[in-house]
Structure 1
């Protein structure tokens, strides 16, 4: 992604604010909204689900009333949401914001969505429920690491960038190959849609010390448990027809609570399981930022974080 001066570019400006979980993105975005004519657009694959509030760290009602976020609470937990749909929804929201004379400020931690927005998307085969069901059956019998090894044989490029426990993306890569007969990486290399007509300022919040970020992650998960994350999952299971393989129940935190409530993991391990999974998520997000998205970076632990980000935004907007 390139950082382009809004003053010299004929394109309308848009700001991307990205970072790992617990890096303080929402707080920074709200402070920017206090100072600049921006509207906030959520870039979060978990916050699109209605009723997933505690475990997604969704802004509370008072915050949303004062600083509305586009692309929050779009679908019910049994439904699925894709990067392609995010791109379409985000571009529609951005166009409306620009028409109102404001600047879109896209904030979140779903790095695939940021990449899809800026670099475009390949036209991939749609989901095929029977194929997915068969892949899930094999995973239940053999485990996701075994299916990852199978993926490595047919699509080593995709397999190399996925952890062998990333069930959702392993499933999708195998599904694409089985439906199309071509590896996902080959389809991606064949070409993507044009990038949107915006001048982007890409800002990344990264920790100078992983240890401190890990402490923040632990504190945040403890706060979620104290706020009633387990009760929230119980409510979701009563209200909706949910299954473990649904994207909503694969979200970090929800998956671990689900497993405990289903008797697949002991209750006393819930805290450690949730913190570990969140730390792994943060690690993947940081890797995305460094290897693919490459924004202008700021230390999310620094005392002068906000003034530095404000200066960058002010310079960009002119």
Structure 2
């Protein structure tokens, strides 16, 4: 990180949940004067440190960490909002001649970072609340039918019971008069164009990863995840908010409501997290083929190999 050219470089570390991304980012930042920038859509929420496996306060104190826990759970935080925040963090890192290390598991965030993002404007709260009220009153099928009349392309693309995405598409067309498809055609440029970063996807052994996911969920419970979710549930937020759908949260809320046992909630939470990891493998392979797939143990053994411009 000595030349002006190097100061514009960045490292992107993606991978399935529990694959060792945070440990690699921390090691790389320690050795190269880097700043770790969160690229995970759930770790932005301050209410969810334990259940989202955010870096510990001790880890955060070792090197600069940015965009962790800076959003309230009541906020419907979007990829566009994250890109805006990330742009400021990238400018800050470059000004300080620090290596920006983007780490996380949210494919859409990485895609927005390297490919750009649609320029959908903020949705007025009144429209969002009206759509959510209709969703609760009339059901998802009714909203899907309405979306089919207003935005048939999106309606055809979405699964008929995908509550969150159907509501989002309907909000956009009602607020702007344009479909999501139209907005996606007129996008924002990427923060990191080709040639300005090195992108890695950590590919652990699947069986070992799933075992690690199960063990980590149990460790979260011992560390206070249930109490953390209880505090979140006490706020009685909209269940469609992203923070309310973090892996493990819905099942633990069901336990807190007396619907299922803690062990049943843990089984659901572990299974949901394993399924999410499977989807992450598939998503990155098809959506972001420019990411270089590496074994975590190889990268962790020699963190210098992930620096931009090195092999």
- Per the TM superposition, whether the score is higher than 0.5 is yes
1:128 is displaced (CA, Å) by 3.8
* Count of aligned positions: 306
Aligned residue in 2 for 1:27: 23
Q: Is the 8 A contact 1:49 1:76 kept in 2?
A: yes
**Aligned partner (choices 281, 302, 311) of residue 305 of structure 2:** 311
Q: How does 1:192-211 map to 2 (within 5 A)?
A: 192-196=187-191, 199-207=196-204, 209-211=205-207
Aligned residue in 2 for 1:214: 210
Unaligned runs of 5+ residues in structure 2 are: none
2:73 pairs with 1:77? yes
Q: Is the 8 A contact 2:27 2:303 kept in 1?
A: no
Distance 1:227 1:158 in 2: 42
User: Helix, strand or coil: the match of 1:64?
Assistant: helix
Q: Is the 8 A contact 1:12 1:197 kept in 2?
A: no
Unaligned runs of 5+ residues in structure 1 are: 1-5
Q: Is the 8 A contact 1:49 1:73 kept in 2?
A: yes
Distance 2:32 2:25 in 1: 10
Aligned residue in 2 for 1:113: 109
Aligned residue in 2 for 1:3: none
Instruction: Pick which of 255-264 and 142-151 moved more.
Output: 142-151
Instruction: Pick which of 9-18 and 163-172 moved more.
Output: 163-172
Q: Is the 8 A contact 1:249 1:258 kept in 2?
A: no
1:258 is displaced (CA, Å) by 1.9
1:71 is displaced (CA, Å) by 0.5
Aligned residue in 2 for 1:278: 273
Q: How does 1:253-272 map to 2 (within 5 A)?
A: 253-272=248-267
1:143 is displaced (CA, Å) by 5.6
TM-score, normalised with respect to structure 2: 0.85
**Aligned partner (choices 150, 173, 177) of residue 177 of structure 1:** 173
2:53 pairs with 1:60? no
**Structure 1 residues 257 and 158: CA distance shift in structure 2, 3 A:** same
